[in-house]
């Protein structure tokens, strides 16, 4: 199957966007000085919150993702509770696949499970591409979130990157080592590239739909890219992620890229086109900034020093939130200090505080609120 290029409606996106120009998140993403240090946390919406568990007691995960009122309410819960500078849309990386008609479910305690794993060229070629109309509940949910946010708070839309999505499709569900996926990638590269080519337009469309519904920023999650060597990342993944970032550029909103355990890939993930690079907790932010700026310099030797600067996002270890207020305070200060050092050394242009991966389900919500307060004092 050949895929039509995704056409963008930049004017609609601009008309839907609120005047959140001075929002701390946007200032930090651009490299301006924010009025306070912005903070949000991956998986801030979800099981750590009793108000979320109450809603989810009566409704399945995917049903919640396709019910506009519920998805706006769940998205706003952590923003209200923790005074977050950004909301992340309550959805899931498999939502565009489900919307396109792929038979999958999100199984409690496990994650996305796909009824018929995609392992052949034919299956890859026949993968449906999502249409805008199939994502209408997401568009309506976004409108509800935007109504509930203050002007200085932003909404982040997101999608899973091709490698991470492919892993669920090829394995058939969550995987520890991603061996079926990598086995296919190495043994049948033509099938792999067919699958990447089939997924890329759906990812672009899912992100474009969110941009045109008015989100203020977009994050591409390549959660499991850290399982790849840099060489394999460049050959099998980077071209598609690069295509996605390039396609979104006309919207002019910050584009964030993040993966777990990607210390060795930070430079490669930075050169495919994000404005903000998410860093997991294993690499101090100042070391991360060195890796990012040196990769950008190598990629574009003629570029100006400013062109080598990205905003850092991260990177408190989510487990620190279990260690009590004193440790949280110290560790928040350490992370902010590392980010400030990177900026002072001219290696980064801004800092958006986050965890180094998602909030763990058993985290005490009050510990999260205290961490937000601590960041705002930095």
In sequence order, the 6+-apart residues with CB closer than 8 A to the CB of 195 are 118, 124, 127, 166, 169, 170
Of 16, 18, 30, 47, which one is the catalytic site residue? Answer: 47
* Alpha-carbon span 52 to 149, nearest angstrom: 18
Whether 92 sits among the annotated catalytic residues: the reply is yes
Give the residue with the Cβ less far from ligand 1CP, 162 or 342.
162
For the bound state, the minimum distance from the C-beta of residue 108 to ligand 1CP, rounded and expressed in Å, comes to: 5
* Alpha-carbon span 175 to 187, nearest angstrom: 19
The reply, when asked if residue 223 is annotated as ligand binding, is yes
The reply, when asked if residue 43 is annotated as ligand binding, is yes
* Alpha-carbon span 147 to 36, nearest angstrom: 23
Of 17, 37, 56, 205, which one is the catalytic site residue? Answer: 56
Whether 43 sits among the annotated catalytic residues: the reply is yes
For the bound state, the minimum distance from the C-beta of residue 175 to ligand 1CP, rounded and expressed in Å, comes to: 7
Whether 349 sits among the annotated catalytic residues: the reply is no
Of 43, 234, 282, 334, which one is the catalytic site residue? Answer: 43
Give the residue with the Cβ less far from ligand 1CP, 10 or 113.
113
Q: Which residues bind ligand 1CP (CB under 6 A)?
A: 42-47, 56, 61, 88, 90-93, 106, 108, 111-112, 158, 164, 174, 221, 223, 358
Whether 341 sits among the annotated catalytic residues: the reply is no
Helices 238-248, 189-212: crossing angle, 10 deg rounding: 20
The reply, when asked if residue 150 is annotated as ligand binding, is no
Q: Which 3 state secondary structure label does DSSP give 318?
A: helix
* Alpha-carbon span 298 to 296, nearest angstrom: 5
Residues forming beta bridges with residue 225, ordered by sequence position: none
The reply, when asked if residue 357 is annotated as ligand binding, is yes
Whether 52 sits among the annotated catalytic residues: the reply is no
For the bound state, the minimum distance from the C-beta of residue 97 to ligand 1CP, rounded and expressed in Å, comes to: 11
The reply, when asked if residue 52 is annotated as ligand binding, is no
* Alpha-carbon span 162 to 11, nearest angstrom: 27
* Alpha-carbon span 311 to 43, nearest angstrom: 20
Of 52, 119, 168, 251, which one is the catalytic site residue? Answer: 168
For the bound state, the minimum distance from the C-beta of residue 122 to ligand 1CP, rounded and expressed in Å, comes to: 26
Contact yes or no for 212/171 (Cβ under 8 A): no
Known binding-site residues for substrate equal 43-47, 92, 168, 223, 357
Known binding-site residues equal 43-47, 92, 168, 223, 357
Active site residues: 43, 47, 56, 92, 168
């Amino acid at each position: 199957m050949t895929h039509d290029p995704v056409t963008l409606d930049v004017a609609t996106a601009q008309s839907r966007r609120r005047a959140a120009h001075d929002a701390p998140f946007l200032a930090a993403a651009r490299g301006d000085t924010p009025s306070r240090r912005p903070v949000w946390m991956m998986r801030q919406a979800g099981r750590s919150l009793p108000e979320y568990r109450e809603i989810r007691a009566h409704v399945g995960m995917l049903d919640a993702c396709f019910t506009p009122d519920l998805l706006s309410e769940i998205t706003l819960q952590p923003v209200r509770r923790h005074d977050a500078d950004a909301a992340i849309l309550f959805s899931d990386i498999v939502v565009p696949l489900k919307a396109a008609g792929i038979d999958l479910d999100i199984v409690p305690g496990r994650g996305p499970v796909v009824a018929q794993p995609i392992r052949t060229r034919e299956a890859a070629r026949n993968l449906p591409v999502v249409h805008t109309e199939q994502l209408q509940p997401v568009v309506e949910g976004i409108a509800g979130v935007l109504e509930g946010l203050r002007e200085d708070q932003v909404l982040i839309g997101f999608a899973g990157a091709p490698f991470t999505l492919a892993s669920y499709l090829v394995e058939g569900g969550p995987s520890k080592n991603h061996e079926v996926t990598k086995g296919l990638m190495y043994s049948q590269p033509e099938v792999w590239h067919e699958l990447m080519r089939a997924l890329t337009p759906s990812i672009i469309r899912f992100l474009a739909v969110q941009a045109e519904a008015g989100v203020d920023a977009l994050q591409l999650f390549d959660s499991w890219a850290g399982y790849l060597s840099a060489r394999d990342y460049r050959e099998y993944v980077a071209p598609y992620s690069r295509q996605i970032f390039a396609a979104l550029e006309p919207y002019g909103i910050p584009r964030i890229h993040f993966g777990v355990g990607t210390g060795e890939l930070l430079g490669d993930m930075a050169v495919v086109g994000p404005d903000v690079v998410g860093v997991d907790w294993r690499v101090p932010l100042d070391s991360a900034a060195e890796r990012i700026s040196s990769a950008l310099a190598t990629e574009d030797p003629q570029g100006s020093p400013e062109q080598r600067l990205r905003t850092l996002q991260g990177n408190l270890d989510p487990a620190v939130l279990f260690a009590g207020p004193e440790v949280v305070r110290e560790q928040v200060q350490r992370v902010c200090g590392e980010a400030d050092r990177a900026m002072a050394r001219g290696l980064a242009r801004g800092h958006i505080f986050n965890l180094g991966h998602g909030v763990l389900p058993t985290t005490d919500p009050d510990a999260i609120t205290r961490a937000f307060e601590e960041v705002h004092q930095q």
